[in-house]
Amino acid sequence: MKPKSNQAAVGSIQCDNTTMNLLKVNDFVAKAIRERLPNMLVINVCSSPGSGKTTLMQETGKRLQDKLNMAVLVGDPETERDAIRMREVGINALQIVTGGMCHIEAQMIYQALDHIDLTDVDLLFIENVGNLVCPAAFDLGEDYRVTVLASTEGDDKPKKYPRMFLTSELLIVSKSDLLPYVPFSVEAVTKDAREVNPDLAVMTISSLKGDGMDEWCDWLLAKVAEKKGNLVAA
């Protein structure tokens, strides 16, 4: 498949099913992505549809544009709308159209790297397909997985979709400006999430109002510095 304008082609790996299963192949490609991107921090952002991932990426780019070089790979079953939104605010972005698949696989990321300019990029976001189930199983070569959960979704998700929270390093409760108007308890969701993953960090953010954005940006800056520091030490 030839890539369309600003869209990455989606491919697959053919293998002998008696020796390698899909996830083993995916892990092999994820390792290759890490080896290919030793100089930049890679963040895999996961959530349900409509949690505010794209708005969070837009606002993050605006706030960090003078501090970091940032790029985004955006996954959706169809359309290029989210990548267009990124580029409208000056963020280097490429759309990965999965053609109906409910998640991104490492091979898609590996192929996409040939179609986006990552020269001098410090931070690469992968905005995964909106889904709390399938993306949890696929390593994309990221350094950290961040799960975004909107206050409008309900606070019962960590126990319903435990693998996503178990495999994440950070939980962002988004749309915090709506907390006074919806039946959502940050305390309850934090308790459930940390019963699944005791090491999970939790932040509460409103991308529109700006609440919590400084903490989020400071976390990213610290992780970028840590990645580059480890590289120098090695």
User: What domains, with CATH codes, occur in the chain?
Assistant: 23-222 (3.40.50.300)
Angle at 114 between CA 164 and CA 119, to 5 degrees: 90
- Kindly report the pTM of this predicted structure: 0.89
The more confidently predicted of residues 137 and 6 is 137
Report pLDDT digits (tens) over 29-74.
Answer: 999 999 999 999 999 999 999 999 999 999 999 999 999 999 999 9
**Does residue 133 carry a pLDDT above 50?**
yes
Angle at 7 between CA 6 and CA 11, to 5 degrees: 150
Report pLDDT digits (tens) over 93-123.
Answer: 999 988 878 899 999 999 999 999 999 999 9
Indicate if the alpha-carbon torsion angle 4, 7, 10, 11 is positive or negative: positive
Ranges of H-type helices in 37-154 = 53-64, 81-88, 106-112
The more confidently predicted of residues 142 and 80 is 142
The three-class DSSP label of residue 61 is: helix
| Local confidence band at 5 (pLDDT 50, 70, 90 cut-offs) | very low
Q: Say if CB 99 and CB 9 are below 8 A apart.
A: no
Residue with tokens 């992780």: 223
